[in-house]
Structure 1
């Protein structure tokens, strides 16, 4: 029997807040997952619950003269951060090879059963996979997290270490298998990466250290992990793959219209 990583009282409160969003905002939730360090596989004791969701509005909302807002956000209360995107926004970002939607669909932590349309969305993400563009996305994330410390001496918050390591491993996963979307979870990425046992042990120790400390605690730099991050960022140009199908936008549009007209 698998233990739920979300404490029961927290899960109940999150479910209550999601039901309130559907009622107050007049939307239907299609997907609700954990996205953040808890789902990425390296939580701290004080990590927020980063609840992310996809939703759709009634058909008439998309026909109004004034554009409907495509994001729903709630203030962080009791470490619960709720943020969701309209399906139309999600499809647009998917066409731009933004990895966020793909990662939400891959989250190992669900807060409700997926709407059937999510299976179609995942299949579309697979069919429209643009490995070089996705690798560039992860390279930008890794650089953004590492550019102030990777080439300097001194300790670095363990959180920042992981924020560079995870996208670096996603690049590695795409180099090794450009036909598959990388998983979002660190442990799954490590399992696919064929890393030497010594580096895997160092990563496991970092995960254990972060589980004992707060989000911003410093950790000792590890030369082999520094080198791994630097190397994968530098090899992003090695990721190859097929070009996006010409009918990609038409297929995304059809999925959206099928749902709002149903």
Structure 2
């Protein structure tokens, strides 16, 4: 159902133009979630490494670099965080950064990226379920603002809920809705994706649809809460020491 081929060479040129060395750059957003439209922009996410003098000096460096626009005919949004900021987010109940780190859609990688992916397993906790509960509530509010309601934000609601349920049950981060639905077997997901890809004409819902999906939203919230209660994941991340060692090594040993 992928409606858009990824031209990695064009994305790589934008990564190459980044002002700081990158540990990785991956694709997030609709492409990662499994339902990009032909006109979907590319959400590039990653980690950069500030020079040592910008870390220890009086003038702070750019903890976050953001760049958006149309380049080589592709609309893209590039956001990267400095390693310290990103590592700190990894130690919190932030599933979003783990999805970026573990995205299979890789534009740029390094040996340190592979190290981070290994460390990520020690940063997953039962309390990441709260991240997905909050994220789902936010997406549901966005869905409810449209009149008539649109398919796209509804797909984001389901993606978030199924990712959270899967994480609580398996300890694995999976952000692709179509992959998640192989286990969840929600009969309406494929149709919703097809309607989203078909464009604006079929990308809205009627009142009967809205009532049904509201029941499903409440049901899946309950499933996520139940999965959290039953999860065998630890309550706290255990990867802090390893992340600290990696950060010190990156600051002191990595060559520009």
- Would you say same fold, with TM above 0.5? yes
Q: Choose from 52, 58, 73 the match for 2:51.
A: 58
| Residues 102-137 of structure 1, C-alpha deviations (whole Å, 9 max, x = no match) | 10122232212x211122212222012112x21110
Q: Structure 1's 216 and 65: CA in aligned 2 closer, same or farther, altered over 3 A?
A: farther
| Residues 132-174 of structure 1, C-alpha deviations (whole Å, 9 max, x = no match) | x211101111101113656x99742111101111111122213
Where do 5+ consecutive residues of structure 1 fail to align? none
Q: Structure 1's 172 and 98: CA in aligned 2 closer, same or farther, altered over 3 A?
A: same
Question: After superposition, where does 1:107-126 map in structure 2 within 5 Å?
Answer: 107-112=103-108, 114-126=109-121
Moved over 4 A (4+): 152-155, 222-225
Q: Which residue of 2 aligns with 1:261?
A: 252
| Residues 24-71 of structure 1, C-alpha deviations (whole Å, 9 max, x = no match) | x2x111111111111110112221111112111233322112322211
The aligned length equals 243
> How far apart are residue 182 of structure 1 and its match?
2.5
Question: After superposition, where does 1:1-262 map in structure 2 within 5 Å?
Answer: 6-8=5-7, 11-21=8-18, 25=19, 27-77=20-70, 78-112=74-108, 114-131=109-126, 133-147=127-141, 155-177=148-170, 180-193=171-184, 195=185, 199-200=186-187, 202-214=188-200, 217-220=203-206, 221=209, 225-238=213-226, 239=228, 240=231, 241-245=233-237, 248-262=239-253
Where do 5+ consecutive residues of structure 2 fail to align? none
Q: Structure 1's 242 and 253: CA in aligned 2 closer, same or farther, altered over 3 A?
A: same
What is the TM-score with the length of structure 1 in the denominator? 0.82
Q: Secondary structure at the match of 2:69?
A: coil
